[in-house]
Amino acid sequence: MPDPSATGRDTRPSVLFVCVHNAGRSQMAAAYLRRLAGDAVEVRSAGSAPASEVNPAVVAALREDGIDIAAETPSLLTADDVRASDVVITMGCGDACPVFPGRRYLDWTLDDPAGRGLEAVRPIRDEIRARVEALVAELTSPPA
């Protein structure tokens, strides 16, 4: 079997987080996955109708946990994003996410932080972190 590194193909698992505006839930999930998995997992996030900026309460909530996403900008979901991902995690994007064979799809039901203050965003942040921690353990564990 050829060595995947010799072909230039990235062998890390790739995860795409998708929510409508890519300004809250998906940004938090991507930030935690980058922090917790480091270089072991490729991370993407996108939205079906991206906002113009990341929710300031989300930025503040992550800053409390030592993560700075102030420079992040919401991006539009594309079919190429989905094709390039092994795992696609949706968070309220409904039918806007294209489905391709061979991808694993998960739907995380989470409250939307849009229009909410920091106090209301903290529990959403904590739930996302817990889910991402479980995902990291699954994706980085050696095969049985």
Q: Supply the DSSP string of the chain, one letter for each residue.
A: ---HHHHT---S-EEEEEESSSSSHHHHHHHHHHHHHGGGSEEEEEESS--SS--HHHHHHHHHTT---TT----B--HHHHHT-SEEEESS-GGGS---TT-EEEE------TT--HHHHHHHHHHHHHHHHHHHHHHHSPP-
What is the pTM assigned to this prediction? Answer: 0.89
Digits of tens for pLDDT over the chain (144 positions)? 333 444 445 789 999 999 999 999 999 999 999 999 999 999 999 998 999 999 999 999 999 999 999 999 999 999 999 999 999 999 976 666 667 778 899 999 999 999 999 999 999 999 999 999 999 999 988 766
Which of 37, 27, 18 has the alpha carbon at shortest distance from 88?
18
